[in-house]
Amino acid sequence: MRYPVKKFHFLLPLALLIFNAAQGQQDPQFTHYMFNTLYYNPAYAGAEGVTKFTAIHRSQWAGYVPTFGDGGAPTSQVISMSSPLNKMRSGVGAYIVNDRLGALNNLEAQASFAYNLALKDTKLSFGLKAGMYSQTLNFDLYRYIDPNDPLLKDQAGKTSQVRPDLAAGVFMQREKFYAGVSFNHLIKSTFDFGVSQRSSLEPHMYVTGGYYYQVNFDLRLQFSTLIKSDFTKTTFDVGGLAYYKEKMWGGLSFRQSEAAIVMLGYSLLKDRALKVGYGMDVIVKDREAKQPLSHEILLTYELPVNPNIGKKIVRTPRYRH
């Protein structure tokens, strides 16, 4: 559950669902977090060794209709790019996130840089992320507790504020497992929108981890987790995926105190560079206040590797079966 802003002198269309705490986890949540590590940790920039583009669309509590207004259910989108800079032992990345929560719309654009250290069979990366975070409020969607409140007499329509944002992280990967920790919203930027009470971007910590197990030549398993904390509340996601011939995948995940999740995916094109995934969240808690299902679509594309870069790979069928 996310609580993106402190209470003002009014209720939002999704007040009972989203804004029922003074502060809490503000960032959008994604079912495909294991395919979206750059969003959580800037040290992941370029970690996959290829230039990769990722797009995710999430419809949370699909079909939810507010009791008044047209705020609707929360929706989130992220588009990201990650690429290695091999000659510099580093990587770069960037993403744009759009997160709509009733009358509140969050938009952020971030750029990441990571520096890599090779330690025997381990790669250790240190990353920084900087960018902007924008919040837009549509006051026409609010229902006021006190219509005569003098603090709100001049508030109408949409208003936006833009603030700087900063994050840092560390990421470690080996052949069979990976782990990372990052800290977002280090600046703790503040939004006031002309009213007496303010909301701020609270620092968040993300811990990611995963393990790969090769069952046989065709079947590979991935176990992953994401721990999220705003230093007031901590939650976690944990799940497992099975990849068959690197062509298709499927698995289950669980989000603490929220949902059980099913994921499916398929690789397209001759080189399997294009991947499409789908995730469905089945809400298991507080169902009386939500719609029972959330849906998420994943799309990734990897650019072909330039054969003139690095050592030439000679392929042989000798050990294939």
3-state helix, strand, coil in the chain (%, to 5): 10, 50, 40
In this prediction, residue 16 carries a pLDDT of: 31
Query: Beta partners for 250?
Result: 242, 264
Q: Is residue 313, in this structure, part of any structural domain at all?
A: no
Q: Is residue 68, in this structure, part of any structural domain at all?
A: yes
Beta-carbon contacts of residue 154 (< 8 Å; ≥ 6 apart): 194
Q: How confident is the model at residue 4 (pLDDT cuts 50, 70, 90)?
A: very low
In this prediction, residue 151 carries a pLDDT of: 62
Q: Is residue 159, in this structure, part of any structural domain at all?
A: yes
In this prediction, residue 153 carries a pLDDT of: 61
Query: Does the pLDDT value for residue 249 go beyond 90?
Result: yes
Nearest partner of 102 among 56, 60, 145, judged by Cα:
60
| DSSP string for 40-59 | H-GGGTTTTSS-EEEEEEEE
Q: How confident is the model at residue 194 (pLDDT cuts 50, 70, 90)?
A: low
* Alpha-carbon torsion angle 12, 14, 17, 20, nearest 10: 0
Q: Is residue 319, in this structure, part of any structural domain at all?
A: no
In this prediction, residue 241 carries a pLDDT of: 98
For residue 221, the enclosing domain spans: 10-302
pLDDT digits (tens, 9 = 90+) for 167-188: 999 999 999 999 999 999 999 8
Query: Does the pLDDT value for residue 143 go beyond 90?
Result: no
Q: Is residue 311, in this structure, part of any structural domain at all?
A: no
| Mean pLDDT of the region 243-272 | 95
CATH code for position 69? 2.40.160.40
pLDDT digits (tens, 9 = 90+) for 35-72: 999 999 999 999 999 999 999 999 998 877 766 656 67
pLDDT digits (tens, 9 = 90+) for 266-308: 999 989 999 999 999 999 887 766 778 999 999 999 998 765 5
pLDDT digits (tens, 9 = 90+) for 118-129: 888 899 999 999
In this prediction, residue 20 carries a pLDDT of: 34
pLDDT digits (tens, 9 = 90+) for 80-112: 999 999 999 999 999 999 999 888 899 999 999
Query: Does the pLDDT value for residue 141 go beyond 50?
Result: yes
User: How many Å separate Cα 277 from the centre of its chain?
Assistant: 15
Q: Is residue 111, in this structure, part of any structural domain at all?
A: yes
Q: Is residue 168, in this structure, part of any structural domain at all?
A: yes
Q: Is residue 14, in this structure, part of any structural domain at all?
A: yes
Give the count of domains, the chain: 1
| Mean pLDDT of the region 133-139 | 88
33 burial via Cβ count (<10 Å: 0-12, 13-18, 19+): buried
